[in-house]
Amino acid sequence: MMQKMGMKVDEVANVIEVIIKTKSKDIVIEEPSVTLVTVQGQAMYQIAGGRVSEATPQAVPTAIGEEDAQLVAQQTGRPFDDAKKALLEAGGDLAKAILILKDQPSSQVQA
């Protein structure tokens, strides 16, 4: 009957966590049941159950100063691009970025 109405319901398998981000908080739902409902080409996700918690989002810098990245690159002997990625991962913290680069091979720096 639902197919005749153009409605399709599918369970989303292996969902570990759903995060709803707002300006003031993150709502984290652990191990929920998630269903994808498609009605006339419009997709909707239904989230049920799970443990719910709230967290204050941490500000992550979106722009890293070129001078900071150059300093990290010089201190570690690593390429400029690796230094920028490490700074982003470290939230702009120079010392932490240097430690990240000293502890990881170049292929493991995440963006």
pTM assigned to the model: 0.49
pLDDT at 89: 87
Query: pLDDT tens digit string along 9-44?
Result: 999 999 999 999 988 899 999 999 999 999 988 999
CATH of 66-104, one of 1.25.10, 1.10.10, 1.25.40, 1.10.8: 1.10.8
pLDDT at 80: 92
Residue 78 burial by Cβ neighbours in a 10 Å radius (0-12, 13-18, 19+) = buried
pLDDT at 77: 92
Order of strands, sheet of 33-39, starting from the edge strand that comes earlier in the sequence: 7-12, 33-39, 42-48
CATH 2.20.70.30 fits 7-55, yes or no: yes
- Sequence ranges of the chain with CATH classification 1.10.8: 66-104
